[in-house]
Amino acid sequence: MKDGVHVEQVTNVFITKTYPNHYTMVTGLYAEDHGIVANEMYDPVLNETFSMNHMTMYNPKFWEHAYPVWITNQIQGHRSGAAMWPGTDVKIHGAFPTHYLLYNESVSFQERVAKLIEWFTSEEPINLGLLYWEQPDEMGHILGPDDPGMELVIMEIDNLLSHLVRELKRAELWDTLNVIITSDHGMAQSSRDRIIELDQYVDRDLYMMIDHSPDVAILPAEGKLDEVYNALVKAHPHMTVYKKEDIPSRLHYRHSTRIQPILAVADEGWEILQNKSDHFNLGNHGYDNTLPDMHPIFLAHGPAFRKNISKQAMNSTDLYPLLCHLLGLEPLPSNGSLDNVKDLLVSAAPKEPQDRSRQESYARFFGVFLGSVLVIGFLVVFIKYLTRSQVSALRDQHGEIAQPLLQS
């Protein structure tokens, strides 16, 4: 922060879950526009489902409503590298990143960093790198962000960031790359005392649950839309239920065939389950994107960024035009704007696109290393717990994410 820029809160897109927001960051589009509207989806046009828990997430048809930045970067003559970033191991519009790793949670942070540096320093270097890391999202779900044990998770992330900086300095990249650290969402504390059970209000034979708590996408059985909606609309004071056409326009979550006819949204800290025997997380995200606890932060360092500058807020949709500016790319239309973040830059004058031969010689000096090092379940908790004393070792970690790519 002392040598770069700091944005305290990034307003991400609804729903504040993993896949919609990762794709927003690299397309600049709302979920209803880029098509990845949830971690679990049903497309009635394709008559196919998408799930982060199954191989269906590798179906390119779900991803091709948009062109992510690595595809645009390559179309315009450059090279991209990705270490586990969601979607980068999917063949989108007929292409993968120039270099990429198939998702495997067992690959350490250090190995991911080493691979990116290898690509940045090769004879044909990349100019764009994307890095994903599972923490603190994974343990945030297990413990909940208010658990004192989360302090150790945050301390470990701080150590990993130190490793990243050391390795970039060792490779003589630290002063020439633009490094961005951000995430897809925040995290809220849940409780078994704050569970809404749908089985108390509606027969489960009347509907299918497509996506899960705290935003429940409901596909009613044929001819049962009004019956299901009327059973749920006033069922619980901490659950708001919309017909698709009534979802507030501010959420930008209405104009997609993959958004189901009924959407139930829990208040912050509440969970919507069919009954209490369903899987339950002590920490969760997905709530309204106006809630501060759902917001990531944003840090950046490099020759393009000012030093010791703090800004209160930005939008996650603005990251894509910022990346295109840093890379000298002609951006595709998006819901973001460079004007919203140009005050973070040394100069907001557009960069001249480099010819390919020159780019190959000097890419390492003008690259953008987009490090989403933190899939942050609780960036506000980052501040809250840094000052706490160290607690006893965490319980053994349980993988929330298993191959192919099981995030939430």
Question: Is residue 58 situated within a structural domain?
Answer: no
How wide is the angle at C-alpha 51 spanned by C-alphas 47 and 54, nearest 5°?
110
Give pLDDT, residue 347.
Answer: 86
Give the global pTM. 0.86
346-375 confidence digits (pLDDT tens): 986 544 544 443 444 334 433 444 443 333
Residues 110, 255, single domain; the answer is: no
For position 224, which CATH number holds? Answer: 3.30.1360.180
Shared domain check, 233 and 345: no
Region of poorest pLDDT, from 39-48, 233-242, 375-384: 375-384
Across residues 186-196, what is the average pLDDT? Answer: 97
Concerning whether 18 is annotated as a catalytic residue, the answer is yes
- Identify whether the C-beta of residue 100 lies closer than 8 Å to the C-beta of residue 112: no
**């706490």: which residue's tokens?**
388
* Torsions phi, psi for 392 (to 5 deg): -65, 160
Same-domain status, 206 and 184: no
Q: Would you state the pLDDT for residue 368?
A: 40
**Interval 152-163 mean pLDDT:** 97
**What integer is the mean pLDDT of 79-86?**
97
Task: Determine the structural domain holding residue 206 and report its residue range.
Answer: 195-279
The verdict on 129 and 238 lying in the same domain is no
Is residue 392 one of the residues assigned to a domain? no
Residue 280, pLDDT above cutoff 90: yes
3-state helix, strand, coil in the chain (%, to 5): 30, 20, 50
Q: Active site residue: 16, 18, 27, 72, which one? A: 18
Residue 309 in domain: yes
Say what the pLDDT of residue 377 is.
38
| Residue that terminates a domain, selected from 226, 250, 279 | 279
CB-CB contact of 169 with 118 (8 Å)? no
Four-point Cα dihedral 32, 328, 134, 311, nearest 10: -80
Between 18-22, 50-54, 177-181, 335-339, the lowest mean confidence (pLDDT) is in 50-54
Q: Kindly report the average pLDDT of the chain as a whole number.
A: 88
Question: Stretch 1-29: mean pLDDT, rounded?
Answer: 97
Rounded Cα distance, 259 and 210, in Å: 10
